[in-house]
Amino acid sequence: MFFRISDLLNFWFPASCAACNAALYRGEMIVCTQCLYHLPKTNYHLEPGNPVEKAFWGKTRISSATALYFFNKGERVQHLVHRLKYDGEQEAGELAGRILGADLLQAPSFRSVRAVVPVPLHTRKLRARGFNQAECIARGIAQSLSVPLYPDFLIRRKATETQTRKSRYERFENVDRIFALNPKYHPSPEHYLLVDDVITTGSTLTACADALLDIPGAQVSIAALAYAR
């Protein structure tokens, strides 16, 4: 009987689903088939004035906003985000980005997007983590939309404290005007898609959108892997 090396590796070190942690069957990659069909999609890309868009009303000027999944503590989407952000499974972010990008192609409001821009990490955190989780998601979206990815289009001018235990106003103060356009670019008035992993209060994305809107004539839309209601 002939065994492939990959079969032996999967026997001794079985790959697991990034969302539910169940063992993957042959032919499954990163996320199992059951999770691909049953993770809680928002479908907000098809709903103008959806709750993600409303989260930015009165804060900044955006064209459209959406998130792929609903985020609930202790559930599979949180596990997926954790595997990407803290376990370094960058392929999980790229897969989610490709799925999200395919959805965006169905929405007229996102069809004019001409560039994808991830929320940047400070250089110190980027060196420590080794990658930017928002960039992984943005890379997958850019592939689906067939538009350029600008991973360093925005720069974070200072490191900030974690947002986890801050109030809504403290989150806003923590990121106010800390993002800027990278001077190596000569930006044009395009429709930019700003990408992050999870939307909670939207403070970080608001600050990033404000920096992009410093480009005369620019449009900004927002997309994220998950939305914490």
Q: Structure pTM?
A: 0.87
175 lies in the same domain as 159: yes
Per-residue pLDDT at 6? 44
Q: How confident is the model at residue 167 (pLDDT cuts 50, 70, 90)?
A: low
Same domain, 24 and 78: no
Residues 1 and 45 in one domain: no
Same domain, 97 and 175: yes
In DSSP terms, which residues pair with 154 in a beta bridge?
Answer: 181
Q: Are 97 and 136 in contact (CB under 8 A)?
A: yes
- The secondary structure element, H or E, covering residue 220 is strand 219-228
Question: Residue 176 has which token pair?
Answer: 């106010």
- Write out the residue range of the structural domain in which residue 19 sits: 1-38
2 and 111 together in one domain: no
Asked whether residue 105 falls in the same domain as residue 30, the answer is: no
Same domain, 111 and 222: yes
Task: Give the range among 7-16, 146-155, 172-181, 202-211 with minimum mean pLDDT.
Answer: 7-16
Going by DSSP bridges, is the β-strand pair 154-156/179-181 parallel, antiparallel, or unpaired? antiparallel
CATH number at residue 176: 3.40.50
Q: Which two tokens stand for residue 142?
A: 């850019």
Burial of residue 215, with CB atoms counted within 10 A of its CB: 0-12 exposed, 13-18 middle, 19 or more buried: middle
| Predicted local distance difference test score (pLDDT) of residue 174 | 53
Under the banding of pLDDT at 50, 70 and 90, the label for residue 138 is very high
In Å, how far from its chain's centre is CA 147? Answer: 16
pLDDT in tens, 60-84: 999 999 999 999 999 999 999 999 9
110 with 167, same domain: the answer is yes
Domain count, the chain: 2
Same domain, 90 and 26: no
Same domain, 13 and 94: no
65 and 29 share one domain: no
Q: Report the alpha-carbon distance of residue 162 to residue 171 in Å, rounded.
A: 9
Q: How far apart are CA 7 and CA 214, in angstroms?
A: 53
Residues 65 and 110: their CA atoms lie apart, in Å, by 9
Number of H helices, E strands in the chain: 9, 6
- 180-209: pLDDT as tens digits: 999 999 999 999 999 999 999 999 999 999
- Same domain, residue pair 28 and 130: no
pLDDT above 60: residue 217 = yes
